[in-house]
Structure 1
Amino acid sequence: MPELDVLLVFFAAAVALGLAPGPDNIFVLTQSALYGRLAGLVVTLGLCTGLLFHTTAVAFGIAAVFSTSTLAFNIGKLVGAAYLLFLAWQALKAGKSSLSAEERVEPSLRQLYRRGIVMNITNPKVAIFFLAFLPQFADPGIGPLVPQLLVLGFLFIVATVFIFGLVAWGAGFLGEWLKTSPTAQLVLNRIAAVVFVGLAIRLVASQR
Structure 2
Amino acid sequence: MITFSTLSMFVVIVIGLFLIPGPAVLLVASRTVQSGRKGGIMAGLGIATGDLIHTLFATIGLSAILMTSALAFNIVKFAGVAYLFYLGIRAVMEKPSDPKLPNISPATSTNSYTQAVLIEILNPKTALFFLSFLPQFVHPEQGSTFFQFLVLGLVFVLLSAIYTTLIAMGVRLLAGVVKKISWISRFSGKIVGAIYIGLGLKVAFQSR
Q: Give your verdict on TM over 0.5.
A: yes
TM-score, normalising length: structure 2: 0.61
Query: 1:28, 1:40 within 8 Å by CA — same for their partners in 2?
Result: yes
SS in structure 2 at match of 1:21: coil
Which amino acid in the other structure matches residue 53 of structure 1? I
Query: 1:46, 1:113 within 8 Å by CA — same for their partners in 2?
Result: yes
Which amino acid in the other structure matches residue 2 of structure 1? I
Equivalent positions of 1:140-151 (< 5 A) are 140-151=140-151
Equivalent positions of 1:46-195 (< 5 A) are 46-61=46-61, 91=104, 106-171=106-171
Query: 2:40, 2:168 within 8 Å by CA — same for their partners in 1?
Result: yes
CA shift in 2, pair 1:129/1:137, >3 Å: same
CA distance in 2, matches of 1:140, 1:43: 35
CA distance in 1, matches of 2:38, 2:8: 29
Which amino acid in the other structure matches residue 21 of structure 2? P
Query: 1:37, 1:172 within 8 Å by CA — same for their partners in 2?
Result: no
TM-score, normalising length: structure 1: 0.61
Give the equivalent residue in structure 1 for 2:86.
none
Ranges in structure 2 where 5+ consecutive residues have no aligned partner: 66-78, 80-101, 175-208
Ranges in structure 1 where 5+ consecutive residues have no aligned partner: 68-86, 95-105, 175-208
Give the equivalent residue in structure 1 for 2:23.
23
Give the equivalent residue in structure 2 for 1:187.
none
Which amino acid in the other structure matches residue 55 of structure 1? T
Which amino acid in the other structure matches residue 158 of structure 1? L
Over the aligned positions, Cα root-mean-square deviation in angstroms equals 2.4
Q: Percent identity?
A: 34
CA distance in 1, matches of 2:19, 2:48: 15
CA distance in 2, matches of 1:109, 1:163: 18
CA distance in 1, matches of 2:112, 2:160: 17
CA distance in 1, matches of 2:112, 2:173: 19
Query: 2:32, 2:171 within 8 Å by CA — same for their partners in 1?
Result: yes
CA shift in 2, pair 1:33/1:143, >3 Å: same
Equivalent positions of 1:27-42 (< 5 A) are 27-42=27-42
Query: 2:35, 2:108 within 8 Å by CA — same for their partners in 1?
Result: no
- Give 1:119 deviation, angstroms: 1.2
Which amino acid in the other structure matches residue 61 of structure 1? G
- What is the aligned length? 138
